[in-house]
Amino acid sequence: MTTHYHFVVAVDFGTTYSSVTYHQRPFGDKLKDVADKQPKLFSIRNYPGASASKMGEIFETPTEILYSEGQTFYGYDAWKKWDSNMHRQGILLQWFKLVLDNSKDEKRLHEAQRVSSQLDSLGLTIGDAITDYLTFLLGHTKSELQLNNRYCDDCTVQLVLTVPNVWNARACSVMAHAMETAAKDLSFGHDSEVYLVSEADAAATYFCDRVSDVLLNLGDVFMIADLGGGTSDLMVCKVTHVYPFRFDPVVPGDGAVCGSSHLNKALVSALKTTIEADPRYRNTRDYLPEGWTIDDILSAANHDFDTVKKEVRSDSTGDYITVPFLPKLEDNPDSASNSFYANREFIDGIYLPLFNQILGLIQSQMQAAAKNKTPCTHVVLIGGFSLSNWLLSFLRESINDKDCRVVREHTSQDTISRGGCLRYLNQVSGPDEIMQASYGFVTEEVCEPDTFEGHKPENVVQEFDADDGGLYACGCITYIVHRGQRIPAQGQTFPEKAFVLDRTFRHLKQDLLIRIELVENKSDTVLEDHFHRGHDKNIGCRSQGEIAFVIPARELKQLAVERVRGEKRFWNKRDKNFYYLLRYEARIKILGKNIRYELWIGGSCKAYGVLTGLSSAVEMSEVEGQFASLAI
* Residue 73 CB neighbour total at 10 angstroms: 21
Given CA atoms 131, 134, 140, 144 in this order, what sign does their dihedral have?
Answer: negative
- DSSP H or E segment with residue 417: helix 415-425
The model's pLDDT over 366-405, given as tens digits with 9 standing for 90+, comes to 999 999 999 999 999 998 899 999 999 999 999 988 889 9
- For 480, phi then psi, to 5°, come to -100, -40
Say how far residue 583 (Cα) sits from the centre of its chain: 35
The model's pLDDT over 323-341, given as tens digits with 9 standing for 90+, comes to 888 888 877 777 788 888 8
Given CA atoms 522, 524, 525, 529 in this order, what sign does their dihedral have?
Answer: positive
Classified as helix, coil or strand, 299 is helix
What's the rounded Cα separation, in Å, for the pair 291 and 259? 32
Contacts of 19 by beta carbon, 8 Å cutoff, 6+ apart = 11, 12, 43, 44, 59, 60, 61, 413, 414, 416, 417
CB 12, CB 59: distance < 8 Å = no
CA dist 256 to 176, 323, 488, Å? Answer: 21, 30, 25
What's the rounded Cα separation, in Å, for the pair 289 and 401? 54
Contacts of 201 by beta carbon, 8 Å cutoff, 6+ apart = 235, 253, 419, 423, 431, 592, 593
**Amino acid of residue 515:** R
- DSSP H or E segment with residue 143: helix 126-148
The ranges of the chain with pLDDT < 50 are 33-36, 491-494, 612-632
Say how far residue 107 (Cα) sits from the centre of its chain: 19
Contacts of 198 by beta carbon, 8 Å cutoff, 6+ apart = 162, 163, 164, 165, 233, 235, 253, 593
What's the rounded Cα separation, in Å, for the pair 256 and 143? 35
What's the rounded Cα separation, in Å, for the pair 307 and 101? 25
What's the rounded Cα separation, in Å, for the pair 538 and 216? 42
Among residues 402, 368, 388, 103, the alpha carbon closest in space to that of 256 is found at 103
- Burial degree of 149 (CB within 10 A; 0-12, 13-18, 19+): middle
Cis preceding-peptide flag for 244 (omega within 30 of 0): yes
Specify the pLDDT at position 41. Answer: 93
What's the rounded Cα separation, in Å, for the pair 479 and 474? 15
Domains of the chain with bracketed CATH? 5-198 (3.30.420.40), 212-408 (3.30.420.40), 433-628 (no CATH)
Contacts of 629 by beta carbon, 8 Å cutoff, 6+ apart = 158, 191, 192, 193
**Amino acid of residue 578:** F
Helices H / strands E in the chain, number of each? 12, 30
| Half-sphere exposure (Cβ direction) of 435: Cα atoms closer than 13 Å | 25
Specify the pLDDT at position 593. Answer: 78
Specify the pLDDT at position 289. Answer: 81
Among residues 296, 288, 245, 247, the alpha carbon closest in space to that of 271 is found at 296
CB 193, CB 627: distance < 8 Å = yes
- Burial degree of 593 (CB within 10 A; 0-12, 13-18, 19+): buried
CB 578, CB 586: distance < 8 Å = no
**Amino acid of residue 614:** L
